Structure 1
Amino acid sequence: MQGFDPFMSNFCDLANQYLTTLPIFKSQGLLRLAINEREAGWLEPDTARVLTQLNPAFEMSESRVTLRAKPDTIEAQMSAAALHLREVGLIKVWRNECYAVHPQNAHGEPDLTCSLFKLERGAFRRFGLTSQAAHINGICTDGTLWIARRSSTKGIDPNRLDNLAAGGIPYNESPFDCAIRELAEEAGLSDFTKSQLQLTGQVHTRRNEIDGTHDEILHCYDLTLSPNVQPVNQDGEVAEFLKLSPLEAAQRLSEMTWDAGLVTANYLLRQKPHIS
């Protein structure tokens, strides 16, 4: 990763340096996606043309594409559009899982209090819609961190390092319940109290990807574990778990997915350097 020096000695300095390397979202060349009058996502011009050719309800102007539809037909029309994008090869990973679609507020931030409809998870990047995910830092009481390596079969970011557990939040699940489920599925952990799993904040990440716009709210948790606890993957999504000191974790931030690296760096910045 350009500009990242893993040989710096202070893990807080490394975390700060890593944050400066995170990709910056650029809207140039993209069109705004609106559902009636509510902005909801971002589209590449090729995707916009496919949508307007598919369904005249998608109206394209110079800077946006607007789906004009009755509220009770929006979900069906967007789902049909997603299926068509899959058929023409613009959506390559299909999850058979739905996320809630949130509109943007006046400041361009997602309004998580309002859900317009639900849509196939695999379509979110291509439509530039805001998704949500839960990420859990696995923190041992001796100061070490559990870091997962994603399976080579993952559709996105195979073999990259990740948090102890992480996953997208379906439309009918709360962030906390998602965190509990992902810990059981990805790390085989369920024997802990709610007081051990603490929400530490939310981070909004947005970046340009080859398959569209990644726009996601990360709900960040710390799970405190005793040093003798060993995570064991249950769903085939994790290849291995690494137990790292804060300095070792900071030195390997560039091996992580962008989201996991962001969550880990933010955790490291909440710590004191003397524990490395």
Structure 2
Amino acid sequence: MKKTSIFRALELQARTQIEDYLASQPQFSVKGLTPLFINGHQYGWLESCTAAKLLHFSERWIKQDGKVELQGKDIADELQQAARYLQQEGLIGGWRNESYGVYAEDEHGQFDFTNSLCSLERASFRRYGFLSRAVHINAYYPDGTLSLGRRASTKSIDPNLLDNMAAGGIPMGELVLDCAIRELKEEAGVTRDVAKRIEFVETIHIQRNESDGTHNEILYCFDLALPEDFVPCNQDGEVATFYRLDQMDAINSLELMTWDAGRTSASFLLRKGRLSL
């Protein structure tokens, strides 16, 4: 068999492996969930246990016509107090003291991220089924190897799993690009001169059922070409260690990543990978 034929066979095998991984990603189902409406607009999804707790918490939470609705003023205070109650009841863990913006879809299925309903504790978003946003950066070296991090064992979500070199949620009031540059500094010690080379490539909307609610998140995905001599160094205690993997090792590691990081890395490998090498 000619060398080019061998390379093509290897590339086809690699692509098939990535596509099989993508097909294995969990899908979202509304079975057993109740839509959450706020002042007439749907914002999230509630599991039956969460809906029951909220209906017990305050008379402002009403169930009718197959949905749970919260109406009135001071929505932010009610959501925050209810979230604290859910935490006390054991339904929310890992309180972050970070605020995300709460957004609803318009009639065209679009979101206006310049206009939020309110800000709310990050840890409550899955229980409410609210949409969150995050940045993910695929960092790679001139030879095509990728830099991946292993999440610290102290992380409240997905401890010890592999992740992109830098990734993180976008807090209320922070711009997407600023968040990406900040996460690169905090998680991998990337200087601003290197970080500003990042290239925005795509958004990916992830939605799936999790044990702690609905994970509904928009991922803003970036590529970052690293200098050959760059050595990542975590600054905030959220990454235990880093690995530099060739692309086949990265493909074989997809199942060891968080679902979001794996989805982001798989997209990078299909889009930009040298899969026959």
- TM-score bucket (shorter structure): over 0.9
User: Is 1:23 matched up with 2:26?
Assistant: yes
Deviation at 1:139, TM superposition (A): 1.2
Alignment of 1:8-157 (within 5 A): 10-70=13-73, 73-106=74-107, 108=109, 110-157=111-158
- The one-letter amino acid of 2:70's match is L
Deviation at 1:11, TM superposition (A): 3.0
Is 46-55 or 214-223 further displaced after alignment? 46-55
Q: Please give the alpha-carbon distance, in whole angstroms, between the structure 1 residues aligned to 2:223 and 2:269.
A: 11
Deviation at 1:259, TM superposition (A): 0.1
SS of 1:192's equivalent? helix
Deviation string, structure 1 residues 195-227 (Cα, Å, up to 9, x no partner): 520111100000000000000000001111122
Q: 1:224 — aligned with what? A: 225
Deviation string, structure 1 residues 96-139 (Cα, Å, up to 9, x no partner): 00000001233555443431101000000000000000001111
Is 230-239 or 185-194 further displaced after alignment? 185-194
Q: 1:262 — aligned with what? A: 263
Is the contact between residue 9 and residue 247 of structure 1 (CA under 8 Å) also seen in structure 2?
Answer: no
SS of 2:182's equivalent? helix
Q: Please give the alpha-carbon distance, in whole angstroms, between the structure 2 residues aligned to 1:176 and 1:122.
A: 23
Q: Please give the alpha-carbon distance, in whole angstroms, between the structure 2 residues aligned to 1:152 and 1:51.
A: 31
Q: 1:178 — aligned with what? A: 179
- In the alignment, structure 1 segments of 5+ residues that lack a partner are 1-6
Is the contact between residue 51 and residue 58 of structure 1 (CA under 8 Å) also seen in structure 2?
Answer: yes
Deviation at 1:274, TM superposition (A): 4.9
SS of 1:86's equivalent? helix
Deviation at 1:273, TM superposition (A): 3.8
- Normalising by structure 2, we get a TM-score of 0.92
- Paired residues in the alignment total 268
Q: 2:6 — aligned with what? A: none
Q: Please give the alpha-carbon distance, in whole angstroms, between the structure 2 residues aligned to 1:161 and 1:38.
A: 37
Change in Cα spacing, 1:177 to 1:195, as seen in structure 2 (3 Å) is closer
Deviation at 1:64, TM superposition (A): 1.0
Is the contact between residue 11 and residue 251 of structure 1 (CA under 8 Å) also seen in structure 2?
Answer: no
Q: Please give the alpha-carbon distance, in whole angstroms, between the structure 1 residues aligned to 2:207 and 2:106.
A: 16
Is the contact between residue 12 and residue 273 of structure 1 (CA under 8 Å) also seen in structure 2?
Answer: no
Change in Cα spacing, 1:13 to 1:195, as seen in structure 2 (3 Å) is farther
SS of 2:251's equivalent? helix
Deviation at 1:158, TM superposition (A): 0.6
Q: 2:3 — aligned with what? A: none
- The one-letter amino acid of 1:223's match is L
Deviation string, structure 1 residues 124-177 (Cα, Å, up to 9, x no partner): 000000000000111111111101011111111111000010000001101111
- In the alignment, structure 2 segments of 5+ residues that lack a partner are 1-9
Is the contact between residue 105 and residue 111 of structure 2 (CA under 8 Å) also seen in structure 1?
Answer: yes
Is the contact between residue 41 and residue 127 of structure 1 (CA under 8 Å) also seen in structure 2?
Answer: yes
Q: Please give the alpha-carbon distance, in whole angstroms, between the structure 1 residues aligned to 2:91 and 2:226.
A: 42
- The one-letter amino acid of 2:262's match is G
